[in-house]
Amino acid sequence: MVSAVVRLPTPQLEDALARYRAAVAAKRLRTALGLALLAGALVLAGIAGEVDATKFLANIHRLPAYLWNLAPSLSWGNLAKDLDDWFWNLGEWSRLLVDTLLIAYLGTLLGMLGAFLLCFFASANLENRRWVRIASRRFLEFCRTVPEIVFALLFVVAFGLGAMPGVLALAIHSLGALGKLFAEVVENIDMKPVEGATATGAGWISGIRFAVLPQVMSNFASYTLLRFEINVRGAAVMGFVGAGGIGQELMVAIRKFYYTDVSAILILIIATVIVIDLATERLRHWLIGFEQRP
């Protein structure tokens, strides 16, 4: 077969090859530098994190043993009784799970209301006063940067043990996270309806009600549902610091090595989280469809 490939003249070819090699070498050098930096950071982190390979290797067999202990003793012949033994405290645990869901619900609702009120002050297209904008943005940032469990720790001291500090902690964190997302949605709206409403003499409130809300409602609802999913997970561990829900029971079970209780509660939590995720996903798809209908 006759080759139809055009060959470049040798000097040109050599020049091109040299350039290619130089480019590859530069890329490799950059990668090597990055890896060296990473290795240095890893060594420092290993020292700071007290990583001890020998200790790790000596103890690693405990992890499978622990997981093995989590498994309950089930037998086919006596399955109903064994399951009953495994989930012996199902009534109490379900009650706590419902509490957990309600904590997440209230936290999301209160946070959403706060974010709804604040987001209009934090968005550049509706708020002209610079200092108001900056102040509300910094406030939202503070609310979402401090972890919710830290708020919960503080609130447990102030409000006492129970579900109330948990709800308030989730609410404040959701306020920060949702406020930012809401403000971004509001900044991306079409301003023409707002101008139209202003031109007909609408004040601030009616302008928002008739020109802004119709544009942002579906996004707000969708973000709130997503936040609810996250808050269900958050509410499940609020009990670790005494802020209500099923976390307290789980922590006691883990600390006291009640292995089968740990696995039973974990299964309940995971199942709840999965059900909530699926349900909110359904609801969000339905909302999007609802919005598109006239």
Q: Which residues bind another protein (CB under 8 A)?
A: 41-42, 44-52, 55-56, 59, 62-63, 66, 99, 102-103, 105-106, 109, 142, 145-147, 149-150, 153-155, 157-160, 162-164, 167, 199-201, 233-234, 236-237, 240-241, 244, 250-251, 254-255, 257, 262, 266, 269-270, 273-274
Q: Which is nearer to another protein, 78 or 274 (CB)?
A: 274
Q: Which is nearer to another protein, 119 or 232 (CB)?
A: 232
Q: Which is nearer to another protein, 66 or 88 (CB)?
A: 66
CB 108 within 8 A of CB 170: yes
What's the token pair of residue 115? Answer: 């974010």
Q: Which is nearer to another protein, 185 or 245 (CB)?
A: 245
Q: State how far the Cα of 111 lies from the Cα of 172, in Å rounded to an integer.
A: 6
CB of 242 to another protein, least distance (A): 11
CB of 120 to another protein, least distance (A): 20
Residue 198: CB partners within 8 Å, gap ≥ 6? Answer: 207
Which alpha helices (H) appear in 123-212, and where do they start and end?
Answer: 130-145, 148-159, 163-187, 192-199, 204-207
Q: State how far the Cα of 86 lies from the Cα of 265, in Å rounded to an integer.
A: 10
CB of 117 to another protein, least distance (A): 17
What's the token pair of residue 156? Answer: 């447990």
CB of 293 to another protein, least distance (A): 9
CB of 163 to another protein, least distance (A): 4
Which alpha helices (H) appear in the chain, and where do they start and end?
Answer: 10-48, 53-59, 62-70, 79-86, 90-122, 130-145, 148-159, 163-187, 192-199, 204-207, 213-238, 247-255, 259-292
CA angle centred on 221, ends 104 and 100, rounded to 5°: 10
CB of 29 to another protein, least distance (A): 14
CB of 78 to another protein, least distance (A): 26
Q: Which is nearer to another protein, 12 or 214 (CB)?
A: 214
Q: Which is nearer to another protein, 90 or 153 (CB)?
A: 153
Residue with tokens 């509300």: 136
Residue type at 170 in one-letter notation: L
Closest C-alpha to 97, from 273, 260, 279, 280: 273
Q: Which is nearer to another protein, 12 or 278 (CB)?
A: 278
Q: By CB neighbour count within 10 A (0-12 exposed, 13-18 middle, 19+ buried), where does 273 fall? A: middle
